[in-house]
Amino acid sequence: MRHPLLLLCAVALLPACTEVTTARNSNEVGTEHIYAELSATHGGEGSVVVDAELHDSADDAFLRLTGGDELIASNGLASDEIASVDGGLFGGAAEVSNSVLTMTERHRTAWDTLFIEVTSDPTYHAAFNDADLNRPFYVSFLRAIDSVPDIELKLPSSFEITSPSGARPSHGRTPSR
């Protein structure tokens, strides 16, 4: 071998970046065994990102949407309201098309002090660019095998953190001299 040190370095670095998956197919898990972790994050200027992870309650494994299962995020319209709008779920109504998004799959990257772990565990994402912050966000889990109630997410009212005033509170104590 001409460069044994180079080969040794390459083998030593191999575990530094790994890909791991524990994801299962969602259609293999009964609805009663699925739980979701959801978030809605306001990014300013009317942009809101809704994220979701689905897990199997038996062992917390991630679930990948399969077999006709899908996640829909909407701004201000619950699934029964979407269905009643002329055109159905993704019909021609402008109100529906601007407020309802199919959540798309993404993958997580976990950081550790010694290595980067790129997981193929799926998370789901929908980005609203012109959201109505006064209306709730809904996540609908549509399944071919049964129905699931919508989950409602509400963002708190906006607030601004300002610097403290010039006077410092005494908290009921008299300053010592």
pLDDT of the chain, 177 residues: tens digit per residue: 454 444 333 334 444 444 455 799 999 999 999 999 999 999 888 899 999 999 999 999 999 999 999 999 999 988 888 776 545 554 444 445 568 999 999 876 666 556 666 667 899 999 999 899 999 999 999 998 888 889 998 888 877 778 776 666 556 555 555
**Residue 118: in which H helix or E strand, if any?**
strand 116-128
The three-state secondary structure class of 138 is strand
Of 141, 147, 139, 142, give the one whose Cα is nearest residue 73: 139
* Terminal CA-CA length for the chain: 78
Does the pTM surpass 0.95? The reply is no
